[in-house]
Amino acid sequence: MLIMIKELILKNRSYRRFHQEEAIAPEKLRELIDLARHSASGANLQPLKYILSCESDKNNRIFPYLAGPDT
């Protein structure tokens, strides 16, 4: 079991940029954010804030501020 947990931790990544070829509906984004909201966080403080963005022009304004291989 320890090996399985170690593998999961080592494979885990925080993704900030995604493939843009396929659009995601706002309803699906809300579902995903709700799942993230229910995830554990340090001291259960839930310090993250989310911005829903599924429009190309809005994404283009946000992406320059994200770290990642495409920036």
User: Which tens digit of pLDDT belongs to each residue from 5-42?
Assistant: 788 778 877 666 667 778 888 999 899 888 877 777 67
The whole-model pTM stands at 0.53
pLDDT value of position 27: 92
Q: 8 burial class (0-12, 13-18, 19+ CB within 10 angstroms)?
A: exposed
**Coil, strand or helix at 46:** coil
- Predicted local distance difference test score (pLDDT) of residue 46: 64
Question: What pLDDT does residue 69 have?
Answer: 55
